[in-house]
Amino acid sequence: MTMARYLLRSALRACINGGVALSVAALFAHGAQAQDAPADRVEHGRYLAIASDCVACHTAPGGKPFAGGLDLNTPFGTITASNITSDRATGIGSWTLQQFDAAVRHGKGPNGHLYPAMPYTAYARMTDADLADLWAYIRTVPAVSQKVVENKLPFPYNIRAALIVWNALFFDSTPFKPDSAKSDAVNRGAYLVEALAHCGICHTPKNAFGSDSGATYQGTSLQGWHAPDLTNNDHTGLGKWSAEDIVTYLRSGTNRYTASSGPMTEVIVNSTQHLTDADLQAIAAYFKALPARHVEAPQPLPATNAQVEAGRREFVVQCSACHTSSGQGVANMIPSLQANPAINAKSPDSLLNILLAGTTGPATTANPTGAAMPGFAWKLQDDQIANVLTYIRNSQGNAAPAVSTTDVAKARKALGAQPVVWH
């Protein structure tokens, strides 16, 4: 055990390149006693917690805010979010600012290294001042006595010492530095996206070790949903979206092209709808400033394809009443299916979830009545769902791989949705 602790300390020093001492000194310049922080700093910390969407992971369904207990299913096992309320016994009420900094920006908790499901790899870019203000706010969160169960990770992933190697290989603790060649808005957007909102945690594909693959923001599937491509790519990304389209989507959960679904709906409800207009504009400016990424669109399956033709007939009966016969939908309410990047994604995961289980859009201040779509698991058989999705993905300006009955069956099983049985 002594050797393990020594290795942990040594690896931590190596990973952060000796920067902790300087960082902690700077933090104390902002005041270590968070309970004595001025009200404006606490309020700014509350805003940072919203921008970072802390409540999403640290609140269980039906539970008290920040009291933990939410199970996060990862490819390596189940990780349970911790209690970060001010309770001294089961939360982090007894922590110091240094301990909070070690956990949030360096992935080091009282019991060893944290798993990167906690996005310290992004929060490492947070400024000292923002970290101190976030701590000032967290200290004011009402204490909730709730002991969180241990993570449910199989061997060898339950060995925290393995994270010594992971951090040494993959953890970049370099603080955020504005790019002097970019505008203030783009730099602010970069800080929000890369550090606070940690968008890359979901939207950047991971390698076999759970680290970013290098295909930054190019979309990936996780927890049964597809986090879409955020690059300026016309076919599967945001290439056709204007900056205002991005702002509208993050503020209301919908725009002229699409409506949110799945985990992104929770992000909009808890986080992005509450950001200032200036910050939303900055996020949009950042994404629109990313280099254009050309993706050669595949050729759509021909209209004479048997699956496409069967899907067209299903579409007329099941979908056209809301999405219209042309697939145009209703702007800012019912998503357009025409040349829709989400439909063109290589993975049909999100489409399968929506069609099987249905979806409800976020109820936001800007759009109080979120539109809903019913699920069709009770009504359509696997081949019918595969056919209609294949038709949608290969018509109306879209081009994407066909959906198979095997794809539908797997999604149905994962959702626990019962297949149709006709009597």
135, 244: one domain: no
Report which of 164, 185, 264, 209 is spatially closest to residue 74, judged by C-alpha positions.
209
Q: Is 423 annotated as a binding residue?
A: no
225, 148: one domain: no
Query: Is 95 inside a domain boundary?
Result: yes
Residue the block writes with tokens 């805003």:
47
Q: Is 54 annotated as a binding residue?
A: yes
How big is the chain, counted in residues? 423
28, 156: one domain: yes
188, 163: one domain: no
102, 222: one domain: no
Q: Is 319 annotated as a binding residue?
A: yes
What's the predicted TM-score (pTM) here? Answer: 0.86
Look at residue 117 in the predicted model and tell me its pLDDT. 81
Tokens representing 202 are 């979901």
For the chain, what is the domain count? 3
C-alpha span between 202 and 267 (Å, rounded): 11
Q: What is the CATH number of the domain that holds 351?
A: 1.10.760.10
C-alpha span between 238 and 173 (Å, rounded): 29
Q: Is 323 annotated as a binding residue?
A: yes
Mean pLDDT, consecutive 10-residue segments, the chain of 423 residues?
36 36 39 67 98 94 91 79 94 96 94 84 96 97 89 66 73 92 98 97 85 86 90 94 97 93 94 98 98 86 97 97 92 90 94 95 90 93 98 96 97 78 40
Kindly give, in sequence order, each residue whose CB lies less than 8 Å from that of residue 208, ignoring residues fewer than 6 positions away. none
Q: Is 202 annotated as a binding residue?
A: yes
Single-letter residue type at 253: G
Q: Let me know the angle formed at the C-alpha of 180 by 176 and 184, rounded to the nearest 5 degrees.
A: 80
Report helix, strand and coil shares of the chain as percent, to nearest 5. 45, 10, 50
Query: Is 227 inside a domain boundary?
Result: yes
Q: Is 15 annotated as a binding residue?
A: no
256, 142: one domain: no
Q: How far apart are the first and last CA of the chain?
A: 64
10, 148: one domain: yes
284, 244: one domain: yes
Confirm if 400 and 307 have CB atoms less than 8 A apart.
no
Q: Is 226 annotated as a binding residue?
A: no
pLDDT per residue over 195-210, tens digit each?
999 999 999 988 777 7
256, 191: one domain: yes
Query: Is 63 inside a domain boundary?
Result: yes
Of the three residues 289, 318, 349, the one that is the final residue of a domain is 289
Tokens representing 72 are 């996060």
360, 399: one domain: yes
Domain that holds residue 223: 184-289
Of the three residues 262, 289, 316, the one that is the final residue of a domain is 289
Of the three residues 136, 170, 204, the one that is the final residue of a domain is 170
